Amino acid sequence: MSFDFVSLTNVIISGVLTGLVYGLMALGLSVIFGVARVVNFAHGEMMTLAMYASVILFSAFELNPFMAVLPVAAIFFVLGYGLQRWIVNPFVTRPEHTQFMLLLAIAIILTNGQLIFFGPDARSVRLDSLLESIALGPLLIDRGKLYAALVALGTAAALFSFFRFSRGGTAIRACADNWLGAKVVGLNVKQLYALAFGLGSLCVAVAGSMMILLVDLTPSIGPGYRLLAFVIVIVGGLGSMNGALVGGVLIGLSEALAGMFILPSAKSMFSFALLIVVLLLRPRGLIGGQR
């Protein structure tokens, strides 16, 4: 096997940067689960929807994804809020499998709606300004990946500070810890659930807007990213926000290394193996486990 230290470092950097975008996507899933206790089965499909929104804004208005991310995120926040408020909320007290089925149905409708609406052709957004890599000595850093990772990191930081410092964030955390207690002290639990779902959707919208710079988009990639998000949050710990980011970076890294050393097409097999091992050894995830 021929590899040298420089190309290995390049692969690691690329894996970590992609992993941060994965992490933001998974963070959305984790916020939704952590608060409303609902597994968003439509997560990957929502991300492809955000990616299509970016593609359309780019081709129609020449709005590049770093600008388009703002309206897309705002729309997704509203959509997520509405989805939880009017469709999912009646289901939070129903058995788990019913919630699963509801969101799975939404996922199927989204994927095939996209397939019917946008067709099966691959789309992408390529910005000329991102073509040139940044050279750091012998290392080459992909500009698109770097900026995407920075946006993901910034969004995650904003979300963390919202949860830590704002009244709304504190209320959501109270709700996640003990919804009955939250209700007793007068918080509007249903609205806070909807707010959490909106924030989770916002994360996935930002992640999608960045992901369009990194991969080609077809309607059929949604389920793959949904599974990827599951793998990440379980590895990191379902409901743990730090865990989602750490899990994202871990999976990004393992995919990049598996692509280099084994087979690029077998990279997700590696992730699923990691998932099975983590589920068996630490079912609550690497960072979760307070419950």
Partner 1 sequence: MNPRSAFLLAALAIALIALPAFANNYFLSVATLFLFFAYTGQAWNIMMGFAGQLSLGHALYLGVGGYSAAALYFHYGIGPWAGVWVAIIISIALSAFLGALAFRYGIAGVYFTLLTIAFAEFARIGFDHLSWTGGSAGLFLKVAQRDRIDLVNLRGPPAMYYYAILALSALALGLSAWLLRRRPGYYWQAIRENEEAARALGINTVRWKILAVVISAAMTAVAGVFLAFYYNNLFPEQIFNINRSVEIILGPIVGGMGTLFGPIIGAALMSLLTDGATEGVAALGWDIPGVKQLIYGVILFVVIVFLPDGIWPAIARKLKLKR
Residues in contact with partner 1 by CB under 8 A are 39, 87, 94, 96-98, 100-102, 104-109, 111-113, 115-116, 120, 219, 223, 227, 230-231, 234, 238, 263, 265-266, 268-269, 272-273, 275-276, 279-280, 283
Environment class of residue 63 by beta-carbon count within 10 Å: exposed (0-12), middle (13-18) or buried (19+)?
Answer: middle
Q: Toward partner 1, which CB reaches closer, 65 or 236? A: 236
Of the candidates 67, 50, 35, 76, the one whose C-alpha atom is nearest the C-alpha of residue 177 is 35
> Crossing angle for the helix pair 43-61 and 222-236, nearest 10 degrees?
130
| Residue 39 φ then ψ, to 5° | -85, 115
Closest separation in Å from C-beta 106 to partner 1: 7
Closest separation in Å from C-beta 98 to partner 1: 6
Q: Toward partner 1, which CB reaches closer, 45 or 142? A: 45
Q: Toward partner 1, which CB reaches closer, 195 or 274? A: 274
Q: Toward partner 1, which CB reaches closer, 113 or 154? A: 113
List CB contacts of 70: < 8 A, sequence separation 6 or more. none
Closest separation in Å from C-beta 182 to partner 1: 22
**Separation between Cα atoms, residue 280 and residue 278, nearest integer Å:** 5
**Separation between Cα atoms, residue 110 and residue 151, nearest integer Å:** 26
| Residue 44 φ then ψ, to 5° | -65, -35
Closest separation in Å from C-beta 224 to partner 1: 9
Q: Toward partner 1, which CB reaches closer, 97 or 167? A: 97
Closest separation in Å from C-beta 207 to partner 1: 20
